[in-house]
Amino acid sequence: GQNIDQPTEMTATEGAIVQINCTYQTSGFNGLFWYQQHAGEAPTFLSYNVLDGLEEKGRFSSFLSRSKGYSYLLLKELQMKDSASYLCAVRNNDYKLSFGAGTTVTVRA
């Protein structure tokens, strides 16, 4: 089976930094994805990691350690529009994405 854990909720102040952790135990690994989902909207792709290390993309960065089954998504210079749910998803050896339950981030002024 697949087990993907991430915190349920996080709150941060506008302009601050927030780190969302994701740990996983899956049968096979072929990449880890982070998606952003605003309420009632489609999940939108943020980042992809398949090798260990940090991937930086503007205000968002994602880190992966395969040996530890661990990833994090780092959001810098938080803006109000960043309030959303952030989904960690692991692709197995085939094509299937297994998602965590999502972390709801609330950005306060």
Binding site for other proteins (CB under 8 A): 4, 30-31, 33, 35, 40-45, 48, 50, 87, 89, 91, 93-102
Nearest to 79 by CA among 41, 48, 42, 105: 105
Indicate the residue among 13 and 94 with the shorter CB distance to other proteins.
94
Minimum Å gap between C-beta 87 and other proteins is 5
- 55: alpha, beta or left, given left = phi > 0 and alpha = psi -120 to 50? beta
Pairing of strands 9-13, 103-108: parallel
Minimum Å gap between C-beta 21 and other proteins is 15
Indicate the residue among 41 and 77 with the shorter CB distance to other proteins.
41
Indicate the residue among 17 and 92 with the shorter CB distance to other proteins.
92
Minimum Å gap between C-beta 26 and other proteins is 13
Specify whether the CB–CB gap between 107 and 20 falls below 8 A. Answer: no
Q: Tell me how crowded residue 13 is: count the other CB atoms within 10 A of its CB.
A: 11
Indicate the residue among 58 and 109 with the shorter CB distance to other proteins.
58
Minimum Å gap between C-beta 101 and other proteins is 5
3-state secondary structure (DSSP) of residue 30: coil
